Structure 1
Amino acid sequence: MIQIVSESTKGAVVEFGFEKEEGKFKGKALETLFYPEKDGKEVLYVGLGKKEETAGGQTDENICKVLVKEAAAKAVKELRSHEIYEFSMNISAVAEKFGTESVRDIAEGALLADYEQIQYPGKDCRKTEIELTGIEGSEAEAASALLSEYEAVIEGVRFARDMVNMPGNKLRPEDFAGEVLNLVKDTEIEAQVFHLEDLKKMKMDALLGVGESSEFPPCLVVLRYMGDPECEEVKGLVGKGVTCDTGGYCLKPAASMGGIRGDMAGGAAVAGAIYALAKNRVKTNAVAVIPMCENRISDGSLLPGDVINSYAGKTIEIANTDAEGRLILADAVSYAVKQEKVTHILDIATLTGAVVNMLGFTIGGVISDDQEWFDRFRRAYQVSGERYWRLPVYPEHEKMIKSKVADIRNMGESCCGTITAGLFIKSFAEGKPWLHLDIAGTAWVEPPVFEFQSAGATGAGVTSIYQLCRQ
């Protein structure tokens, strides 16, 4: 729990400060100094680094957002290490430098630092209670409104983390669908699940091609939130939901097997984002489409060289059975356009190892065919503080996925893997403004990169998708 108050009632307090030359506490970035007793309270000082280095252009703004999140998270983790679970944070120094909107970053850092993975057997996890002080008058009202809004967003992030962290045998496709339905049950979201027999009638052949041979059948979850009935724009949010990815007959190497359970981070992200939109009654229209399945090896599994159909009617040559995410996204994107009549498409997936080699574990890859749609997303991630990098696309890249035996091939050549994977999905967007997020590097971190992360799932994408729709 976190709230704005005019005066602290807690016996412990966090003070943020910028770097200085004198005193025991120098204020270097994320430096901490704990006093068990000072003026009748337990006091923790947390450093924000050099004040003059926290102003400037777009890149610096992102660095500052991450710093504020980390500082808040550092404070929570440090006090919890002293078994202090109730305290106040004096955020006057942060708000004065970064503005009232920095409350969002404080809340995200603090609430995510409090996150703990699901364990088996379960255990009771004591949550922190935080009071924020140092903001007065009308600014306090604005900060309280931001805080209330972002608590729902962080619920969405925590949901995404829980789903990705869950062991594969605890989260089969139908289980994942049930978790999503339970998340949105008390909101204004209309939820629908298409099960195996439905998918066969719909001719979702790409999704079935990947998931039908598993003992645990595939399904398709559709979440409709129409918060602005007078607006014709409907954003289609499509997230990959592969709950177990062995690679199929193109079996993953042993070193990669530990992460096969988390290949549904994209699906979890769009579920968390649309939940937050509905919870906050944001004036927007969004439809989330999440194809869910397992990619296993069995007698009926896809083989390299196979040619399959798709919901769009296009034939697909299977060059690699471990390029399964783009197959199920193809059917889901086609469905979103044809049946849900979405006007804009965003798809998100842990799609390629190539994006990890290129951008590492803190930056997601972006591909888009529409400048205005991408500009809106860029404004969104500038607010969220997530990091993305747009990749170039040229006609020669599209040639890489041409097939000699089908309409399209599910894998390109030995280079440009992230680009060609995205372009495969684009070919099913029916010309709608399209945006593709590859979060293969940012959805999972072990060890954590930032203080507000924990080992495992990060909940990548939720905050940026929410901000995109919120515009």
Structure 2
Amino acid sequence: MEYLVKSGSPEKQRVGCVVVGVFDRRKLTQQARALDFAADGLLSSILRRGDLDGKLGDTAVLHNVEELLCDRVLLVGCGKEREFNDRAYEKACAAAIKQLSALGGVDAAFYLTEQNVRGRDDFAWQVKSALLTVEENLYRFDTCRGQGFESPRQKLTRLVFQVPRRSDLRAAERGVNEGRATAAGLKRAKDLGNLPANICTPSYLADNAKELAGAHDKLKTSVLGEDEMAELGMGALLGVSRGSRQPARLIVMEYNGGAKKDKPIVLVGKGVTFDSGGISIKPSAAMDEMKYDMGGAASVFGAVEAAAEMNLPQNVVGVVPAVENLPDGDAYRPGDILTSMSGQTIEILNTDAEGRLALADALTYVERHYDPDAVIDMATLTGAALVALGSQAAALYGNNSPLRRALRDAGDTVGDRAWPMPVWDEYQEQLDSNFADMANVGGHLAGSVTAACFLNRFARKLRWAHLDIAGVAWKSGSEKGATGRPVGLLTQYLIDRTHDDA
């Protein structure tokens, strides 16, 4: 899709379709009124006949309006004007792109970006949000279809986001640039997440990281194999890998967009490419969805790609401990004690709590090999996060209040929300072990919290945050598929840092 920005009157647009809004009770927006005036009241007449009353998400298409230069006019219901907030704006944009995709035009002038959105006064945000909504609704995953399958052809190839004044074009251009880069990162994350585990192995992820580095001059990738990890003492990560025939990989992607002296932001993503639970095997129902257990890794890939696409003046490092968790004669067992890279020992009470083991060694690796400004890990870590927050928000933990606040604000900006949770010392005693420095689980209460407390033991020297994304990384049911979250949050955080440093 080609995205452009422009300032101009809707009645003067010579395009396949002009998209304008209608509020509740048939109230025309300013842009719709301009069309209505040029068309001698045709829009008002149609609304009076009841074809559209402005309910949020409803649409109506007008063809060949003689007084206008465009082929079609798409009216989009925006709901109550006083309630036109982020969520309503996204729904209106989604309704518009679905209708545009069903029409025959190849281009459209999109005037919803001129609408006032409650709490927003930045056309960069409105254009970026609209672009991401468009890309979300156009996304398809057909990689694994057979040779006879033909993907539906997308006729719409050019979308022009409109702003009121020429002075608004600079902000709109920034919205397009940020939106394109974020959309590219989201697509990579979703594609990786949707691949089956027999294709998306730890080695596949390593190769994908190398290909990504080959496409960007400021990005380089290195990969550690199991022998190298063993030399470093990564007993926790390698313990998880023992039951699989797929060798583990530690993938390191370094994007050097800032000055050499600038401390990097390090993103660490859980890369369990399939999680059977190991010896503590999961129930068979919906186990296919455990291919999504590398959602944290996928989001690291996406955020690193977005940073490179935007040429952000930041140093960003992506670290992915990639491993598969399967039962085998050599698999690690409940009761085993593993020695982590940090030297801390871990009693295994449940082999299905494997992601934290891989992340523990990855965090120690980051501490010893970098001097990071901040470290953010993300993982589909616990079902308890889904129970606590549903699919609306990731669970946000950390040992630094400004970092937690910045991540929460970034998520609020892009609608990829995270909600703060505690890592109080009182929870740490649930991880006590009679035989090792700690257990890998803390019992059935506060499961997401104790998982974060476990990771905190390996991040005490770091300015650290943890996102438990088990509830947001994928959808089930008829809409089953990876969401790409929290690429949007991470990318916005990096953008916000760039603006703060300017």
* 1:136 and 2:165 aligned: yes
Q: Flag the 1:195–1:67 CA change in 2: closer, same or farther, 3 A.
A: farther
Q: Residue 476 of structure 2 is aligned with which of 439, 446, 458? A: 446
Deviation at residue 196 of structure 1 after TM alignment: 2.2
SS in structure 1 opposite 2:427?
helix
Deviation at residue 153 of structure 1 after TM alignment: 1.1
SS in structure 2 opposite 1:167?
coil
Matches within 5 A, 1:203-242: 203-229=233-259, 232-242=262-272
SS in structure 2 opposite 1:423?
helix
SS in structure 1 opposite 2:488?
helix
Aligned to 1:111: 135
Aligned to 1:195: 225
Amino acid at match of 1:103: V
Q: Residue 200 of structure 2 is aligned with which of 161, 168, 171? A: 171
Aligned to 1:467: 492
SS in structure 2 opposite 1:177?
helix
Aligned to 2:90: 69
Deviation per CA, 1:252-279, whole angstroms, max 9, x where unpaired?
1111312111110111101111111122
Matches within 5 A, 1:42-121: 42-54=72-84, 64-82=85-103, 84=105, 86-91=107-112, 93-94=114-115, 98-99=120-121, 100=123, 101-118=125-142, 119-121=144-146
Higher relative contact order (CA closer than 8 Å, sequence separation 6+) = 1
Tell me, which stretches of 5 or more residues in structure 1 are unaligned? Answer: 55-63, 449-453
SS in structure 2 opposite 1:255?
coil
Deviation at residue 230 of structure 1 after TM alignment: 5.7
Q: CA–CA distance in 1 between the matches of 2:164 and 2:206? A: 42
Deviation per CA, 1:395-417, whole angstroms, max 9, x where unpaired?
22111112111111110011100
Q: Flag the 1:401–1:464 CA change in 2: closer, same or farther, 3 A.
A: same
Matches within 5 A, 1:298-377: 298-377=328-407
* 1:14 and 2:19 aligned: yes
Q: CA–CA distance in 2 between the matches of 1:114 and 1:424? A: 39
Amino acid at match of 2:99: E
Amino acid at match of 2:146: P
Aligned to 1:248: 278
Amino acid at match of 1:465: L
Contact in 2 for aligned 1:159/1:272 (Cα 8 Å):
yes
Aligned to 2:212: 183
Aligned to 2:153: 126
Aligned to 2:426: 396
Q: CA–CA distance in 2 between the matches of 1:41 and 1:184? A: 44
Q: CA–CA distance in 2 between the matches of 1:131 and 1:361? A: 32
Moved more, 350-359 or 277-286: 277-286
* Greater C-alpha Rg: 2
Deviation at residue 37 of structure 1 after TM alignment: 4.1
Amino acid at match of 2:56: A
The TM-score with structure 1 as length reference comes to: 0.92
Q: CA–CA distance in 1 between the matches of 2:467 and 2:104? A: 39
Contact in 1 for aligned 2:393/2:418 (Cα 8 Å):
yes
Count of matched residue pairs: 457
Deviation at residue 393 of structure 1 after TM alignment: 2.8
Deviation at residue 385 of structure 1 after TM alignment: 1.6
Tell me, which stretches of 5 or more residues in structure 2 are unaligned? Answer: 28-46, 498-502
Q: CA–CA distance in 1 between the matches of 2:449 and 2:417? A: 18
Q: CA RMSD in A?
A: 2.0
Q: Residue 27 of structure 1 is aligned with which of 54, 64, 87? A: 54
Aligned to 1:59: none
Amino acid at match of 1:177: A
Q: Residue 416 of structure 2 is aligned with which of 386, 389, 395? A: 386
Contact in 2 for aligned 1:287/1:340 (Cα 8 Å):
no
Q: CA–CA distance in 2 between the matches of 1:66 and 1:190? A: 38
Deviation per CA, 1:364-397, whole angstroms, max 9, x where unpaired?
1111121111111122112222121111232221
The TM-score with structure 2 as length reference comes to: 0.86
Q: Residue 189 of structure 2 is aligned with which of 138, 142, 160? A: 160
Matches within 5 A, 1:422-433: 422-433=452-463
SS in structure 1 opposite 2:431?
coil
Contact in 2 for aligned 1:69/1:108 (Cα 8 Å):
no
Deviation at residue 435 of structure 1 after TM alignment: 0.7
Moved more, 157-166 or 226-235: 226-235
